[in-house]
């Protein structure tokens, strides 16, 4: 039997790559083929040079391909980000991706629908199994040992109190998802609600679950939406990450036109310090996404809105993602799970590495921002 071994030059290159990665990982307490649950266990020697050349994009792709494993991906990412290791392993493909994000508008009306088709239209049954009863695909608000469902209910109650929702208020939910917040506002607060989404699967689900509410397949830029205003309150939860820097002006101008002069607007969004998205997440999970920075938010709201309240509870996204992963793991283990191994590894990598990024508190954060057009007379009272 003939055994195919790598050429000596390839073996030397692999060894050099391994030493480089070992030296980078040692300060964060991560080893190659070590015994700790956050250590990397390499199954394919191509892993080293591939990751060093292509950065975080290659890290995720090689995991999907089974080149390496890690028992606690969340802890691996937490340790790496706490020491800014991602800034030291970028790779040319990642640099190319970041340059393209800055130069092109990847969130036009045409491109924006890709995320609905690739991600949100994956299947309502899939998301029911992962998200739980409330079908909230955004950060929950955990208090006093609450379960995921209880924490999502608490988040919606928090949003309602921040917006001071009252019976008879006309409410617009931009990016309404499966309709959870819209139903909460209508059933608990007596509001008249319009929910808009660009996902056909989400729209169908929302209409079935709340047949008496108005849900429509509309983009925030659609001229039809302008004709449906004004609204006393506007909310957007977990949608702004898909707007993109080149469209922030259009988004906030649209909200400004649709909101009554004494109304309130609540924006619930992930943000970070560098106004970008991870290349792997962008390619495989949320195509054409772009996380805003605090500078972006301040610049594009200035002159349009008064910031009444800013609430960062990004640490709760760690708990939310770990709860989603627990739900997903139970579903994945069932014999009738319909997706192949590569999908399983992709989804596991997404949930656990994202959890680690919020745990690290160095890159990704979650903010709820309450805004008014002219300032609330007498002052706005923050609620928690």
Task: Compute the half-sphere exposure of residue 182: CA atoms within 13 Å on the CB side of its CA.
Answer: 28
pLDDT at residue 364, as a whole number: 94
Averaged over 117-142, what is the pLDDT?
A: 96
CB 169 within 8 A of CB 232: yes
pLDDT at residue 3, as a whole number: 41
Checking if the pLDDT of 94 tops 70, the result is: no
pLDDT at residue 277, as a whole number: 74
Task: Compute the half-sphere exposure of residue 62: CA atoms within 13 Å on the CB side of its CA.
Answer: 24
Averaged over 16-41, what is the pLDDT?
A: 96
pTM of the model: 0.92
Averaged over 254-265, what is the pLDDT?
A: 98
Q: Which residue has the higher pLDDT, 1 or 244?
A: 244
CB 12 within 8 A of CB 23: no
pLDDT at residue 8, as a whole number: 47
Averaged over 194-211, what is the pLDDT?
A: 97
Checking if the pLDDT of 186 tops 60, the result is: yes
Burial of residue 36 (CB within 10 Å: 0-12, 13-18, 19+) is middle
**Which ranges in 260-340 belong to alpha helices (H)?**
279-284, 294-301, 315-332
Distance CA 148, CA 71 (A): 23
- Residues of the chain above pLDDT 90, percent: 81
Distance CA 338, CA 297 (A): 40
Q: Which residue has the tokens 């917040």?
A: 181
Residue 38 in tokens: 């956050």
- pLDDT band of 363, cuts 50, 70, 90: confident
Checking if the pLDDT of 15 tops 60, the result is: yes
């Amino acid at each position: 039997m003939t055994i195919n071994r790598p050429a000596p030059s390839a073996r030397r290159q692999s060894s050099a790559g391994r030493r480089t990665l070992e030296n980078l990982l040692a300060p964060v307490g991560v080893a190659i083929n070590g015994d700790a649950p956050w250590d990397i266990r390499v199954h394919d020697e191509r892993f080293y040079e591939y990751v060093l050349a292509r950065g975080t994009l290659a890290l995720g792709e090689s995991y999907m391909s089974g080149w390496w494993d890690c028992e606690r991906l969340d802890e691996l990412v937490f340790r790496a980000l706490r020491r800014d290791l991602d800034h030291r392993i970028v790779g040319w493909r990642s640099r190319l991706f970041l340059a393209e994000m800055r130069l092109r508008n990847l969130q036009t009306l045409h491109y924006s629908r890709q995320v609905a088709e690739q991600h949100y239209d994956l299947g309502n049954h899939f998301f029911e199994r992962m998200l739980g009863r409330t079908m909230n695909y955004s950060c929950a608000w955990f208090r006093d040992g609450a379960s995921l469902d209880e924490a999502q209910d608490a988040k919606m109650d928090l949003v309602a109190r921040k917006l001071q929702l009252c019976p008879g208020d006309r409410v617009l939910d931009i990016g309404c998802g499966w309709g959870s917040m819209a139903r909460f506002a209508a059933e608990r607060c007596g509001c008249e609600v319009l929910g808009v989404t660009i996902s056909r699967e989400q729209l169908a689900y929302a209409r079935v679950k709340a047949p008496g509410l108005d849900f429509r397949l509309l983009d925030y830029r659609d001229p039809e939406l302008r004709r449906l205003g004004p609204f006393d309150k506007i909310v957007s939860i977990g949608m702004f990450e898909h707007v993109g820097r080149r469209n922030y002006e259009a988004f906030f101008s649209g909200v400004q036109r649709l909101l009554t002069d004494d109304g309130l607007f609540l924006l619930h969004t992930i943000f970070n310090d560098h106004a970008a998205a991870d290349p792997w997440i962008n390619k495989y999970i949320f195509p054409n996404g772009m996380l805003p920075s605090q500078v972006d938010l301040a610049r594009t709201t200035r002159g349009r809105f008064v910031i009444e309240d800013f609430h960062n509870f990004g640490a709760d996204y760690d708990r939310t993602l770990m709860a989603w992963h627990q739900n997903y793991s139970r579903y994945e283990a069932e014999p009738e799970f319909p997706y192949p191994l590569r999908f399983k590894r992709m989804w596991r990598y997404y949930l656990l590495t994202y959890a680690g990024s919020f745990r690290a508190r160095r890159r990704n954060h979650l903010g709820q921002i309450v805004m008014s057009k002219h300032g609330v007379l007498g002052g706005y009272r923050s609620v928690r």
